[in-house]
Amino acid sequence: MSKRDYYEVLGVSRDAADGDIKKAYRRLAMKFHPDRNPDDDTATERFREASEAYEVLSDPQKRQAYDQFGHAGVDGSGAGMGAGFAGGSFSDIFSDVFGDIFGAAGGRGRGVGRGADLRYGLELDLEQAVRGDSVDIKIPVLSACETCDGSGAKPGTSPSTCPDCSGAGQIRVAQGFFSLQQTCPRCRGAGQIVTDPCGKCGGRGRVEKRKTLNVRIPAGVDTGDRIRLAGEGEAGMNGGPPGDLYVQIEVREHPIFTRDGRHLYCEVPIDFVHAALGGELEVPTLDGRVKLKIPPETQTGKLFRLRGKGVTPVRGGGQGDLLCRVVVETPVNLNDKQKDLLRQFQASVSDGGEKHSPKGSSWFKGVKDFFDGLTG
């Protein structure tokens, strides 16, 4: 039985934001969780299906692979992911997915915030993308303040306990018959407040810096690919884990080659003498020059395939080919003698008709038949 599209499962569009994906999963998890639907196999299957879809679409790398290759792109990593969710209790799901609204259960991660993910656009030459490379990049990031070790407090002092939540980081709010825990608005869940802020970071615990990172470019990347550098994003709040850095690849236009997947294409201009009589030309490849044999009577647009001179994709698969498209070039800037020789040549072949110009003769015959049909 084929799997349904993950976006269809969650009921969101393919360009849905991360927040919309999470909201959609919350709604389905509340509705179909097995703890709320005992002995209902249909609900259990819907929950498993939604959990699997959320596990893939909530992860930037897995979502990109799914967008590009469908279910095949996440086989072994996406397939069956819902099992991890389905095995948990409803309270586990409530804590993991809804915790950012009601506060983390049992005080876990109280006041701790993961740093933001960052994106960096990196331009590469075609040669770098095909062969791989190692590139240094400089990025501005928010890093933990070294003066206060990220606490936000002036050296020699310490944050004080928040008087509103008594250090719990959460306050209890009554709403009708329900009593809910919410993040303390005064300390923002930290449980502490800074009364004497650090002079360098102004009590924020983070400062902006520029740092240099070395990025290893795997061979075969292409425009639109992303490289994830774990933990190289912004520093977390209150000692929380840092975010990730995503390096977005953009391959510059090449003066000779164009790329289409694993194949490379180029145009090879030849004079009409080589086109008519045949010959041998040197053509460029990314590995150096190679000989290309041109058979007699070659026409413009003819494609010649040089096997194994293309690209080996970063996700695996055989190496592509280089396809050379021949363009017969019309001579320019002719002197009188050369023009006269061409007229003599034209006269010598004009009586041959279809013998020397089969395509031209066929085309003119088709035009004549077309107009005869209009007037007939």
When mean pLDDT is compared across 27-41, 62-76, 164-178, 310-324, the lowest value belongs to: 164-178
The mean pLDDT value of the chain amounts to 81
Buried b (16+ CB within 10 A) or exposed e, 193-221: bbeebbeebebbbbbeeeeeeebebeebb
Structure tokens at 25: 């999963």
pLDDT band at 368 (very low <50, low <70, confident <90, very high): confident
Which run of H or E residues covers position 374? Answer: helix 358-375
Q: Is 277 helix (H, G, I), strand (E, B) or coil?
A: helix
pLDDT of residue 174: 67
pLDDT of residue 109: 37
Q: Is 338 helix (H, G, I), strand (E, B) or coil?
A: helix
Task: For the chain, list the domains and their CATH numbers.
Answer: 1-102 (1.10.287.110), 109-156+199-252 (2.60.260.20), 160-193 (no CATH), 258-375 (2.60.260.20)
Query: Do the beta carbons of residue 24 and residue 58 sit within 8 Å?
Result: no
| Closest by Cα among 61, 32, 36, 63 to 49 | 32
Please give the average per-residue pLDDT across 71-76, as a whole number: 71
Please give the average per-residue pLDDT across 321-350, as a whole number: 91
Residue type, 213: L
**pTM of the predicted model as reported, rounded to 2 decimal places:** 0.55
Query: Do the beta carbons of residue 228 and residue 118 sit within 8 Å?
Result: no
pLDDT band at 131 (very low <50, low <70, confident <90, very high): very high
Pairing status of strand 303-306 against strand 245-251: unpaired
pLDDT band at 303 (very low <50, low <70, confident <90, very high): very high
How would you classify residue 249: left for phi > 0, otherwise alpha for psi between -120 and 50, otherwise beta?
Answer: beta
Reported for 163-170, long-range contacts at CB under 8 A and 24+ positions apart, including other chains, are: 165/191, 167/191, 167/192, 168/107, 168/110, 169/103, 169/107, 169/110, 169/111, 170/103, 170/110
What percent of the chain is modeled with pLDDT above 90? 34
pLDDT band at 176 (very low <50, low <70, confident <90, very high): low
Please give the average per-residue pLDDT across 35-50, as a whole number: 84
Cβ-Cβ contacts under 8 Å for 293 (sequence gap 6 or more): 278, 279, 280
| Closest by Cα among 15, 22, 13 to 51 | 22
Buried b (16+ CB within 10 A) or exposed e, 146-176: eebebbbbbeeeebeebeebebbbbbeeeee
Could you tell me which residues are beta bridge partners of residue 120? 247
pLDDT at position 91 over 80:
no
pLDDT at position 89 over 50:
no
Query: Do the beta carbons of residue 192 and residue 162 sit within 8 Å?
Result: yes
pLDDT of residue 236: 75
pLDDT band at 255 (very low <50, low <70, confident <90, very high): very high
Q: Is 267 helix (H, G, I), strand (E, B) or coil?
A: strand
pLDDT at position 87 over 80:
no
Where are the extended beta strands (E) located within 184-278?
A: 192-193, 206-217, 226-229, 245-251, 258-260, 263-271
Work out the angle at residue 18's Cα, subtended by the Cα atoms of residues 44 and 211, and round it to the nearest 5 degrees. 135
CA separation for the pair 174, 246 (Å, rounded): 42
pLDDT of 218-250, one tens digit each?
A: 999 999 999 999 988 887 766 678 889 999 999
Please give the average per-residue pLDDT across 104-131, as a whole number: 74
Which run of H or E residues covers position 27? Answer: helix 18-32
pLDDT of residue 101: 40
pLDDT band at 320 (very low <50, low <70, confident <90, very high): very high
* CA end-to-end span of the chain: 59
